[in-house]
Amino acid sequence: MLELAILGLLHESPMHGYELRKQLATKLGAIRAAISYGSLYPTLRRLQSAGWITDAPDAAEATPPAEIPPLTSRRGRVVYAITAEGKERFGELLAQTGPETFDDPGFGIHFAFFARTDSDTRLRILEGRRRRIEERREGLRDVLARAAERLDAYTLELQRHGLDACEREVRWLEELIANERSGRPPATETTPRPPTDRSGRDE
Amino acid sequence: MLELAILGLLHESPMHGYELRKQLATKLGAIRAAISYGSLYPTLRRLQSAGWITDAPDAAEATPPAEIPPLTSRRGRVVYAITAEGKERFGELLAQTGPETFDDPGFGIHFAFFARTDSDTRLRILEGRRRRIEERREGLRDVLARAAERLDAYTLELQRHGLDACEREVRWLEELIANERSGRPPATETTPRPPTDRSGRDE
DNA sequence: TTCGTCATGTAATGGGTTACATGATTAC
DNA sequence: GTAATCATGTAACCCATTACATGACGAA
């Protein structure tokens, strides 16, 4: 869902649409291809009229004066920033899990913003995902065990590959869940991760 | 794409919509969740008015008299069968590859019907898929190598998992391509696979 | 001056979903 | 008789895409 992703990125820092798309592409690169402008800009409008984000007239005060090179204010360049209501909305979206199916990109997007969730929510989402993947895994095993003779070799190969992917994902999720339970951050993290977030973490 | 899947299944034998959905669920179980009726029935209409499939008034002659239990003709039960034009259309759809991205289910659906394609087409599609996955893999490697410090631990974990999936898929594709080149059928196939297809394999 | 990339947007379309509505048949 | 499953369909919506249109800016 675009809405969640946009709010999440703007939660980190204000940005204009074009930049948003690029960041989205790297942040969600593992999940899906880059979104199109035809989808991005109308969504920004919608979020704005809903009050979740504001249209700052230009940059300048939006970014901390250092680090980023001059930032010549070009043409229209509408810089958006998340509002307090937007942060609230983001929290809701982040915590809620829809009727996601295994092929739903919803999980991945939630996962990408796990750094902004609490451990309970993370666990709930991870376990929900695991359950769905396990169901799919069982379904595939069933087909391979019972309907194998009615399917051609390619279709079977596809099922096997799918089953394999399910098994790996379940193992991955198990690991993440175990980590989460023991309070450790996900994995090879060198920096101690202090909340480098400027101003109030939540809300 | 529903159209391809429907034509493919009806190419094997005539069926009514409800049954089609079930078969679709097992055939494409590795790719995506079951399709909804709200999508299936309108599509059947469309295919019918395009002339790709016909609406046989009732069952009875549609299935070979043996094997299947009485098949009491219930209510409306519209049994569809593929037409000659439909088979042609199926062939076109099967051979053509759109601008598929890595998260496009198009590849999986094509793959599921590989048994009805020629080896050249199979190779072309497999290699196309491999190229796209390799591109994505490179993109993920880039991010992990260059932008790692700007991303939080969860996002990185997601990228790693995605990268891993890419690497596995590339290996899988390599194997399939090698098999295809040497003329062997995909994998653990016990039966010699004679064309048990009733009447003309192609067209 | 022309090319690449930055930057924003609209209109038409696509390919599905959910929720709803209906009703026959089978098994208990 | 009543619940589960079989079976077909429609209407409203959703979330995106493609194709198009426009234009500024920097570098060669």
Q: Are B129 and A18 in contact (CB under 8 A)?
A: no
Q: Please give the tally of structural domains in chain B.
A: 2
Quote the pLDDT of residue B62.
42
Quote the pLDDT of residue A103.
78
Q: Which residue has the tokens 């809620």?
A: A96
pLDDT level of residue B47 (50, 70, 90 thresholds) = very high
CB spacing of B165 vs A165 below 8 angstroms:
yes
- B15 and B81 in a common domain: yes
- A170 and A94 in a common domain: no
B61-108: per-residue pLDDT in tens?
444 444 444 444 455 789 999 999 999 999 999 998 866 677 788 999
Encoded tokens for B79: 């049994």
Q: Of A56 and A132, which is predicted with more confidence?
A: A132
Residue B74 CB in 7 A reach of strand C = yes
Residue range A48-55: mean pLDDT, rounded? 94
CA atoms of A178 and A186, how far apart (whole Å) = 10
Judge whether A174 lies within some domain. yes
Judge whether A109 lies within some domain. no
- D24 nearest neighbour residue (CA to C1'): A75
- B89 and B41 in a common domain: yes
Quote the pLDDT of residue B100.
67
Encoded tokens for A157: 């190969």
Q: Which residue has the tokens 């078969």?
A: B23
Contacts of A155 in chain B (CB under 8 A): 27, 112, 115
- A87 and A153 in a common domain: no
Quote the pLDDT of residue B43.
97
Q: Which domain holds residue A163?
A: 126-181
Contacts of A168 in chain B (CB under 8 A): 164-165, 168
- B139 and B96 in a common domain: no
Quote the pLDDT of residue B61.
43
- A172 and A88 in a common domain: no
pLDDT more than 90, % of chain A? 70
Q: How far is A162 from chain B (nearest CA, A)?
A: 5
Judge whether B167 lies within some domain. yes
B7-40: per-residue pLDDT in tens?
999 999 999 999 999 999 999 999 999 999 999 9
CA atoms of A44 and A25, how far apart (whole Å) = 16
Residue range B156-171: mean pLDDT, rounded? 97
Judge whether B70 lies within some domain. no
CATH of the domain at B57: 1.10.10.10
pLDDT level of residue A15 (50, 70, 90 thresholds) = very high
CB atoms within 10 A of CB B111: 23
CB spacing of B153 vs A112 below 8 angstroms:
no
CB spacing of B158 vs A30 below 8 angstroms:
yes
- A88 and A14 in a common domain: yes
Short-list B4, B32, B2, CA closest to B103: B32
Q: Are B33 and A102 in contact (CB under 8 A)?
A: yes
- B51 and B14 in a common domain: yes
Q: Are A130 and A177 in contact (CB under 8 A)?
A: yes
Judge whether A199 lies within some domain. no
CB spacing of A154 vs B33 below 8 angstroms:
no
- B88 and B130 in a common domain: no
- B83 and B9 in a common domain: yes
Judge whether A196 lies within some domain. no
Write the residue in B27, B136, B185 that is nearest to A155 by C-beta: B27
- B8 and B97 in a common domain: yes
Mean pLDDT of chain B: 84
Judge whether B130 lies within some domain. yes
Judge whether A51 lies within some domain. yes
Quote the pLDDT of residue B75.
57
Let me know how long chain B is: 203
Q: What is the pTM of this model?
A: 0.85
**What does residue B184 show for φ and ψ, rounded to 5 degrees?**
-85, 150
pLDDT more than 90, % of chain B? 70
Contacts of B140 in chain A (CB under 8 A): 29-30
Encoded tokens for A57: 């007239």
Quote the pLDDT of residue A64.
45
- B92 and B26 in a common domain: yes
Continuous H helices in chain B: 2-12, 17-27, 37-50, 84-95, 106-112, 119-146, 153-181
Q: Are B32 and B105 in contact (CB under 8 A)?
A: yes
